[in-house]
Protein backbone atom coordinates (compact mmCIF):
# COMPACT_ATOMS: atom_id res chain seq x y z
CA UNK A 1 0.00 0.00 0.00
CA UNK A 2 0.98 3.60 -0.58
CA UNK A 3 -0.72 6.87 0.33
CA UNK A 4 -1.92 8.46 -2.92
CA UNK A 5 -3.34 11.87 -2.01
CA UNK A 6 -4.95 14.13 0.56
CA UNK A 7 -8.06 16.07 -0.50
CA UNK A 8 -9.11 19.57 0.52
CA UNK A 9 -12.31 21.34 -0.54
CA UNK A 10 -11.59 24.89 -1.69
CA UNK A 11 -13.82 27.88 -2.39
CA UNK A 12 -11.78 29.46 -5.21
CA UNK A 13 -9.81 26.92 -7.21
CA UNK A 14 -7.67 29.40 -9.15
CA UNK A 15 -6.66 31.18 -5.94
CA UNK A 16 -5.74 27.87 -4.29
CA UNK A 17 -3.79 26.60 -7.30
CA UNK A 18 -1.88 29.89 -7.35
CA UNK A 19 -1.05 29.52 -3.63
CA UNK A 20 0.13 25.93 -3.83
CA UNK A 21 2.15 26.50 -7.03
CA UNK A 22 3.54 30.02 -6.55
CA UNK A 23 3.90 30.12 -2.75
CA UNK A 24 4.68 26.47 -1.97
CA UNK A 25 6.32 25.49 -5.25
CA UNK A 26 4.08 22.56 -6.16
CA UNK A 27 3.28 21.68 -9.77
CA UNK A 28 -0.23 21.41 -11.15
CA UNK A 29 -0.25 17.80 -12.34
CA UNK A 30 -3.76 17.59 -13.75
CA UNK A 31 -7.12 19.32 -13.60
CA UNK A 32 -10.48 17.82 -14.59
CA UNK A 33 -13.96 19.35 -14.77
CA UNK A 34 -17.01 17.20 -14.05
CA UNK A 35 -19.92 19.29 -15.42
CA UNK A 36 -22.61 16.75 -14.52
CA UNK A 37 -21.47 16.83 -10.90
CA UNK A 38 -20.64 20.56 -10.97
CA UNK A 39 -17.15 20.15 -9.54
CA UNK A 40 -13.49 20.33 -10.58
CA UNK A 41 -10.56 18.31 -9.27
CA UNK A 42 -6.98 19.58 -9.39
CA UNK A 43 -4.00 17.47 -8.36
CA UNK A 44 -0.77 19.17 -7.26
CA UNK A 45 2.51 17.92 -5.90
CA UNK A 46 6.29 17.85 -5.91
CA UNK A 47 6.55 14.92 -8.29
CA UNK A 48 4.46 12.58 -10.44
CA UNK A 49 1.48 10.82 -8.92
CA UNK A 50 3.01 7.47 -9.79
CA UNK A 51 5.77 7.98 -7.23
CA UNK A 52 4.68 10.84 -4.92
CA UNK A 53 1.80 11.54 -2.60
CA UNK A 54 -0.12 14.53 -3.96
CA UNK A 55 -2.72 17.07 -2.91
CA UNK A 56 -6.18 16.95 -4.45
CA UNK A 57 -8.10 20.22 -4.45
CA UNK A 58 -11.84 19.80 -4.94
CA UNK A 59 -13.90 22.78 -6.03
CA UNK A 60 -17.67 22.39 -5.88
CA UNK A 61 -18.88 25.04 -8.31
CA UNK A 62 -21.70 26.40 -6.14
CA UNK A 63 -19.66 26.68 -2.90
CA UNK A 64 -17.33 29.59 -2.10
CA UNK A 65 -16.28 28.67 1.46
CA UNK A 66 -16.36 25.82 3.94
CA UNK A 67 -16.55 25.48 7.71
CA UNK A 68 -13.22 23.83 8.45
CA UNK A 69 -14.50 22.28 11.66
CA UNK A 70 -12.36 21.39 14.62
CA UNK A 71 -11.24 17.90 13.57
CA UNK A 72 -8.87 18.94 10.76
CA UNK A 73 -5.24 19.24 11.77
CA UNK A 74 -2.77 20.12 9.04
CA UNK A 75 -0.72 19.03 6.07
CA UNK A 76 3.03 18.72 6.76
CA UNK A 77 5.88 19.58 4.38
CA UNK A 78 9.56 18.92 4.97
CA UNK A 79 11.95 21.79 4.23
CA UNK A 80 15.74 22.08 4.42
CA UNK A 81 15.95 25.62 5.83
CA UNK A 82 12.74 26.59 7.61
CA UNK A 83 13.75 30.22 8.15
CA UNK A 84 14.51 30.70 4.46
CA UNK A 85 11.31 28.85 3.51
CA UNK A 86 9.21 31.16 5.71
CA UNK A 87 10.91 34.25 4.26
CA UNK A 88 10.22 32.99 0.73
CA UNK A 89 6.60 32.22 1.60
CA UNK A 90 6.09 35.68 3.10
CA UNK A 91 7.70 37.35 0.07
CA UNK A 92 5.27 35.44 -2.18
CA UNK A 93 2.28 36.69 -0.15
CA UNK A 94 1.83 33.67 2.11
CA UNK A 95 0.82 34.01 5.76
CA UNK A 96 3.07 32.52 8.44
CA UNK A 97 0.86 32.00 11.49
CA UNK A 98 3.52 30.41 13.70
CA UNK A 99 7.08 31.56 13.20
CA UNK A 100 9.86 28.94 13.04
CA UNK A 101 11.05 27.53 16.33
CA UNK A 102 11.23 24.33 18.35
CA UNK A 103 7.97 22.47 18.82
CA UNK A 104 6.47 22.50 22.29
CA UNK A 105 8.04 19.79 24.46
CA UNK A 106 10.57 18.88 21.75
CA UNK A 107 13.47 20.02 19.63
CA UNK A 108 12.10 19.64 16.08
CA UNK A 109 11.96 23.07 14.41
CA UNK A 110 8.52 23.78 12.92
CA UNK A 111 6.43 26.63 11.57
CA UNK A 112 2.83 26.93 10.38
CA UNK A 113 1.38 28.76 7.44
CA UNK A 114 -2.22 29.19 6.35
CA UNK A 115 -3.59 28.67 2.85
CA UNK A 116 -6.25 30.94 1.29
CA UNK A 117 -9.10 28.78 2.66
CA UNK A 118 -7.68 28.76 6.18
CA UNK A 119 -6.15 25.26 6.11
CA UNK A 120 -2.95 24.99 8.13
CA UNK A 121 0.26 23.71 6.59
CA UNK A 122 3.08 22.70 8.92
CA UNK A 123 6.67 23.14 7.82
CA UNK A 124 9.18 20.77 9.44
CA UNK A 125 12.88 21.43 9.15
CA UNK A 126 14.62 18.30 7.84
CA UNK A 127 18.37 18.05 8.18
Active site members: 122
Spell out the long-range contacts of 81-88 with Cβ–Cβ below 8 A and sequence spacing 24 or more: 81/125, 82/109, 82/110, 82/111, 82/123, 82/124, 82/125, 85/111, 85/123, 86/111, 86/113, 86/123
Cβ 58 vs Cβ 10: under 8 Å: yes
- CA distances to 4, 15, 73, 84, 104 from 78, rounded to whole Å, are 17, 23, 16, 13, 18
Amino acid sequence: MRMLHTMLRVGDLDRSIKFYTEVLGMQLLRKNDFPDGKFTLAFLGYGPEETHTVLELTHNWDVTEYDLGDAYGHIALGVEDIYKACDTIKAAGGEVVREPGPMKHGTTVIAFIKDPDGYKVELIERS
